[in-house]
Structure 1
Amino acid sequence: MESIVNAAIKPVMQQEQIPGMAIAITVNGQAHYFNYGVASKETGTAVNENTLFEIGSVSKTFTTTLAAYAVASGKLSLSDKASSVLPQLRGSAFDNISVLQLGTYSAGGLPLQFPDSADAPDKMLGYFKQWKPVYPAGTYRQYSNPSLGLFGYLAAQSMGASFDDVMEKTLLPKLGLKHTFLKVPPDQMALYAQGYSKDDQPVRVGPGALDSEAYGVKTSAADMLRYVEANMNPLTLEKPLQQAIAATHTGYYTVGDMTQGLGWEAYRFPVTLETLLAGNSTPMAMEAHKVQWLNPSRPQTDNVLFNKTGSTGGFGAYVAYVPSKDIGIVILANRNYPNAERVKVAHTILSALSK
């Protein structure tokens, strides 16, 4: 396995000038770690499986798991209208937009990012109140931080606490993740990798509206692999959490060959590299796509690959796993490099392991 991973990773690190990478692979319940380069060019600290990386939008899968846990606990319904969960939104477009539509980016064209003028916790509700849909709710997928962020915000509201509190005190402990944070504590800062921007400047993610919900998780390869294993084999978890994971794996609609779950995006396995690249392409992130709802929505179990990319200004992450084969991979880097390169690496390694 080491030769397969080295052959896939080393050329990409060189080509993309990535200072450090942590790769974690699970095969039949066995964890394998491969660490490369440095967590910080300034200190020269080597990457290991406990190095903390920003995972950007892979955070969305934690947010959707939390929301699905709220549903399994009887606190929230995916069919609720957003304004019935958050009364401040009454009289806005959110009277006609469901919690599920927010969680599947199909609310009607919420943008990829908040406009700068609304990208602060005290401005975001005002933004949502005046926002006007571009499409009828439920007709188009438009990948969006505000959409998924509001989904998480509503979930926390339904549980009667702040999002950070419910995530750090309820969900993460229940998943057995002791090394996963929204705010890295002072005693863990030495493990927090330094990210590097396109022009090689040191950078870490800054505050923004719904940042915890949409892109705020910092975690290690070891914890992410534990999370992947919980997604593939949830039977060791408490019942509501098992139900929550099943809900995030449920297919709600399709766009081309991609089936949209909650947070996770799914493909029939084996999947061609071309199909996986198309599903993780810039057009998929930046453009609106007409959706085909699955009626009824259904759990995806047999031979399905689940995946999610994530990026911040200085980090790039990718996670993919195939429950029916009991294989999964986590790829963390302290530079934001193209999704296509991450997908190619994962596809190469998973294809070799699934033979």
Structure 2
Amino acid sequence: MLVAASAWAQTSSEQERLQHVVDGTIKPLMEGNAIPGMAVAIIADGKQFVFNYGLASKESGQKVTDSTLFEMGSISKTFTATLAAYGVARGAFSLSDKAGQRLPALAGSSLENVSLLDLATYTAGGLPLQFPDQITDDAEMIGYYKAWRPTFPPGSHRLYSNPSIGLFGYIAAQAMGKPFDDLMQTDLLPSFGLSNTYVRVPQERMADYAWGIAKDGRPIRVSPGPMDSEAYGIKTTATDLIRFVEANINGSRLDETLQRAIAATHAGYYKVGVMQQGLGWEMYSYPTTLERLLAGNSAKMAFEPHEAHKLVPPQPPRRDMLFNKTGSTNGFGGYVAYVPARGIGIAILANKNYPIPDRIKAAWQIFSALDGQKKPAPQP
């Protein structure tokens, strides 16, 4: 039975029904994928719910709680995009600026005249998914960018890439006058009230930092690497992540500059197959189908180049869109989805990198129950 989201929080019995839906989805998911621990956060009509399952550490037996920190993987890219959009909103730089203009070390390289927008949307010309293993420091990283040669003309194809959006975040921070980690930790995250979200987990919170499970069963956490902060390095709780989702659904309590930054991340810049590429977020007209979400989040979409059709002018932010992003590290897997017009969103975090289709299907099952016949949420 589908129950409208507006009904979930009216009585304790409705909260119990939500618990029943989430339990019925997440417990089989964990069992089928041997996931030690998960946290699921939901927002419906401005009310937040968090459900915790299993263990943050198999070795110690520590349970997942509201304080458990999970690695977000590439969901971090939505934070990078928001930080950069905040810099644009403050007049520090423009998305149309060229990489060589903002980073003189790239003068004479193939990236010199690539726009920051194309770096942000993975359309710079074929930058790969990851840096080569031998790239370990900033000097080698810059040398890699200078030597790189494109496969496609900029703006013609999308190839999902950590080095691409990583360079976007790196240049944005340079333009804003502070190191990226400092801007994220001391400027952006507090603006959203995210007190349990970190680029680098402080020592006093290490006890709350979950241990992921590697493919061979070993406990694992993400290791530092080139552009890790910008591309995949943020750790957070489910409670903080759903607060970030809520701000994307309705940011009316935020300052006006931050609201404009969120709006910029919600614009559609390229049409790629079944989805639109925003800044960090990937979007679908809503209502959509499970099949479209699976196609847009498929291995083919992640690992292969696709023709990209630039939207000129960019598609203005629309509330009747489903925004989503997956994220993985070697030991963790996550997924976020929300629809502003419906006032609903979900964040799923796990300390295992399990198949993305299973994440999409689980979120879709809960999302469908949340949505039901719900009327559109009021405009903020």
TM-score between the two structures when normalised by the length of structure 2: 0.92
Which residue among 220, 226, 236 is the counterpart of 2:243?
226
CA distance in 1 between partners of 2:23 and 2:288 (Å): 22
CA distance in 2 between partners of 1:64 and 1:222 (Å): 21
CA distance in 1 between partners of 2:144 and 2:123 (Å): 18
The answer to whether residue 40 in structure 2 is matched with residue 23 in structure 1 is yes
Which residue among 110, 114, 117 is the counterpart of 2:134?
117
The 8 Å contact of residues 36 and 47 in structure 1, kept in 2 or not, is answered as yes
CA distance in 2 between partners of 1:302 and 1:65 (Å): 17
The RMSD of aligned alpha carbons is: 0.8
The 8 Å contact of residues 128 and 163 in structure 2, kept in 1 or not, is answered as yes
How far off its partner does 1:299 sit?
A: 2.2
How far off its partner does 1:175 sit?
A: 1.2
CA distance in 2 between partners of 1:336 and 1:303 (Å): 30
Deviations 1:109-164 (A, max 9, x none): 00000011224333100000111111000000000000000000001000111100
| 2:344 corresponds to | 327
| 1:253 corresponds to | 270
How far off its partner does 1:298 sit?
A: 2.0
How far off its partner does 1:257 sit?
A: 1.5
Structure 1: state its 5+ residue gaps: none
| 2:359 corresponds to | 342
Deviations 1:74-132 (A, max 9, x none): 00100000010111111111222000000000000000000112243331000001111
CA distance in 2 between partners of 1:59 and 1:85 (Å): 23
How far off its partner does 1:248 sit?
A: 0.4
The 8 Å contact of residues 273 and 306 in structure 2, kept in 1 or not, is answered as no
CA distance in 2 between partners of 1:139 and 1:118 (Å): 27
| 1:64 corresponds to | 81
Deviations 1:196-228 (A, max 9, x none): 012211010001101100000000000001100
Q: Which amino acid aligns with 1:247?
A: A
Which residue among 5, 17, 37 is the counterpart of 2:54?
37
Distance 1:340 1:119, change over 3 A: farther
| 1:183 corresponds to | 200
CA distance in 1 between partners of 2:215 and 2:221 (Å): 13
Deviations 1:279-325 (A, max 9, x none): 00000000000011112102232421000000000000100001000
Which residue among 149, 152, 177 is the counterpart of 2:166?
149
Return structure 1 stretches of 4+ with deviation > 2 angstroms. 119-122
The answer to whether residue 270 in structure 2 is matched with residue 242 in structure 1 is no
| 1:287 corresponds to | 304
The answer to whether residue 107 in structure 2 is matched with residue 95 in structure 1 is no
The 8 Å contact of residues 121 and 208 in structure 1, kept in 2 or not, is answered as no
Deviations 1:52-94 (A, max 9, x none): 0000000000000000000000001000000101111111112
Structure 2: state its 5+ residue gaps: 1-17, 373-380
The 8 Å contact of residues 22 and 36 in structure 1, kept in 2 or not, is answered as yes
